[in-house]
Amino acid sequence: MHEFSFSIEWAPGSDRFADAFRERSSLQASGVCISFRPERMLRLESVTGETGDLTALDRLLLDESFDHESISDRDLDARRHHDLLTDTATRRVVHTYLDDIRRRDAIPVIVSQYTEDGTLVETFRSGPTVRYRVLVRGDEKLGMMYDTITARLGEGATFTFHHLEEVDRWQNGLLTPRALRGSQREILVHAVERGYFEVPREVSLQEVADDLGIPQSTASYRLRRATAQLAEQFTEQYQIDT
């Protein structure tokens, strides 16, 4: 199997969904997309963030007329259906089915045109940037995928190539035990190194936030989410082991 990894960043005002994430720094989204035919695709997406930020995003997230799959300047012109699978104060999980896709400008749909057995695409969205990992069986047509993706990018979109490599395993937070987000991992490691968890504490939360150049409220949220996720994973694993 081969993994093709790249990211697309949207300039301010060029993509409404990217702007919503840019304006609300607590929001992050990870997803898995499957497309077996260019006219159909499925997506399972988990969005996390502070309660107010998630509530503000709900209108776009669950609007079946709103297109946040296309990378071009045009709508996919598809039928779209959402199912809200998880709805908590800090997380939404949405299953989306798209059918009758007429303009094939979404990454999973583009890739499926060059594969015989369909494609699996992982997405991770933070701020105005979406990182993609595409898993395909062979690398024969990856050059054509690359050319098509870069040719269809809309105005204000910037493409960055990360890597193309052969892999024998593939992990994803929606399918396997969850890894900490980069921002959560960063603040957790920094807090430990600075002595935030020592008794008594050697630094305050405000000092940790100042070190990282973020508001105290953002630092508090990220640290709480990181420690909560580790606790949840420990509990899940403990229940399995016992």
For residue 90, give the DSSP letter: S
- Region of 166 please: left (phi>0), alpha (psi -120 to 50) or beta: beta
Mean pLDDT of 184-209: 86
Portion of the chain with pLDDT greater than 90, in percent: 48
Q: Is the pLDDT of residue 173 over 80?
A: no
**pLDDT of the residue at 171:** 59
Mean pLDDT of 164-168: 78
3-class DSSP state of 132: strand
pLDDT tens digits for range 17-67: 999 999 998 899 989 998 877 888 889 999 988 899 999 999 999 999 999
Mean pLDDT estimate for the chain = 85
pLDDT band per the 50, 70, 90 thresholds, residue 180: low
First to last CA, the chain: 35
Pairwise CA distance, residues 228 & 73, whole Å: 39
**pLDDT of the residue at 146:** 92
Mean pLDDT of 125-146: 87
Distances (CA, A) of 141 to 104, 124, 168: 17, 24, 19
> What is 182-241's CATH number?
1.10.10
Mean pLDDT of 151-163: 94
Cα 55–178–223 angle (5° rounding)? 60
Helices 182-194 and 205-212, interaxial angle, to 10°? 120
Mean pLDDT of 2-28: 93
Which alpha helices (DSSP H) does the chain contain, by range?
A: 16-23, 51-61, 107-112, 142-152, 182-194, 205-212, 216-241
In the chain, residues under CATH classification 1.10.10 are 182-241
